[in-house]
Amino acid sequence: MKTLRNNWRANADFYELQHTDAGSHARAGRIHTDHGDILTPIFMPVGTAASVKGVHLHELMDDIKAQIILGNTYHLYLRPGTDIIHKAGGLHRFNGFTRPMLTDSGGFQVFSLTGIRKLRREGCEFRSHIDGSKHFFSPEGVMDIERTIGADIMMAFDECPPGTADFQYARKSLDLTHHWLDRCVERFTSTPEQYGYHQTLFPIVQGCVYPELRRESALRCVEKEAEGYAIGGLAVGEPAEQMYEMIEVVNEILPTDRPRYLMGVGTPANLLEAIERGVDMFDCVMPTRNGRNAMIFTSQGVVNLRNAKWADCFEPLDPCGTSYVDTAYTKAYIHHLFKAKELLAMQVASIHNLAFYLWLVGEARKHILADDFSKWKSQILNQLMQRV
């Protein structure tokens, strides 16, 4: 069977490991794509349906300074559909975001659609959450969908078992994921890029919370000689300490000269703990979802702007000034907007949270390069997660 390398330029062109922190496994690097470079560690805002909820394009690119965003294969396949995206010339032209994009594979939706999906070796049959229509995802079909969407970084199709799955279920699920991975690789390496720029495929390491399964999966993925690797199936119900343990197990095996992407994670504390263990890339809906519900993350701690205590607090959202909204608006004003159910409240909170996450990984990078990441992390961690 073909390996990924047969269809790619040299791996050294894709990722450059620039520095590893002297006191931890934290890394600073640079990912090279045809839509621009990505400095790591990096957080990727989630653009599920070709948009980051509540955020204008100029805010995403200029104020938040997003270097890369994520699109959701399942949702984009259902709406607007791959025909529309293809006619537009790919997702970059459809939504106007000119920097790199990553697509998931729909694997998490396979996990979350329990009750309206059927898994089998051939793929996954499911019903649309929109209109109940029946659809089928095969590994080959998902590769074709992601090619058509036009992501710079594509994910292999996998099954994401719940964090509480027993060993027998996790074993069966991992066998299915590995079978699908082989088929994804074969399809990917036998199909051309549609829009004239480089696309790459990341295998996903699964195995639930079982170290032996995680090691097996990491080794199986490394055999594919991919330009990067994802760690999936974490932050899905298991305790945080087990998540960190699985990251350590996997990163002992994944090569140091390729980027590592921890999927769907998480809180500011999760990011810093994972960075310390050698993770480079993250995505999560938490900044925007929590922002829409009046919770903002700041350098001083977590703030619920619906609380009455902020009604007459005329301080900026965050003295750090991670984006223009931090100094343009006060806590009292955004508290008022949430109470009045004004849409601007959700927009401002979402912009702030995303800018904060990008600020946080940027600060982490600075301290990795300065060889004092662990010291900085221990100083800031408790402060970031306290309720203000």
Annotated active-site positions, please? Answer: 104, 283
* Phi, then psi, of 265 in degrees rounded to 5: -125, 135
> Do the Cβ atoms of 206 and 239 come closer than 8 Å?
no
End-to-end CA distance of the chain: 55
Question: CA 165, 168, 174, 177: dihedral to nearest 10 degrees?
Answer: -90
> Do the Cβ atoms of 226 and 205 come closer than 8 Å?
no
User: How far is residue 198's CA from residue 4's CA, in Å, rounded to a whole number?
Assistant: 13
Q: Quote the radius of gyration of the chain (alpha carbons, Å).
A: 20
b (16+ CB within 10 A) / e for 80-101:
eebeebbeeebbbebbebebbb
Q: How far is CA 146 from the centre of its chain?
A: 16
- Which residues are CB-neighbours of 260 under 8 A, at least 6 positions away? 228, 229, 230, 231, 251, 254, 278, 279, 280, 281
Among 206, 211, 221, residue whose Cα is nearest residue 255: 221
DSSP state of 41: S
Q: What three-state secondary structure class fits 14? A: coil
> Do the Cβ atoms of 323 and 287 come closer than 8 Å?
no
| CB-CB neighbours of 67 under 10 Å | 23
* Phi, then psi, of 16 in degrees rounded to 5: -125, 115
Does residue 80 have a cis peptide bond before it, meaning omega lies within 30 degrees of 0?
Answer: yes
> Do the Cβ atoms of 364 and 41 come closer than 8 Å?
yes
Does residue 239 have a cis peptide bond before it, meaning omega lies within 30 degrees of 0?
Answer: no
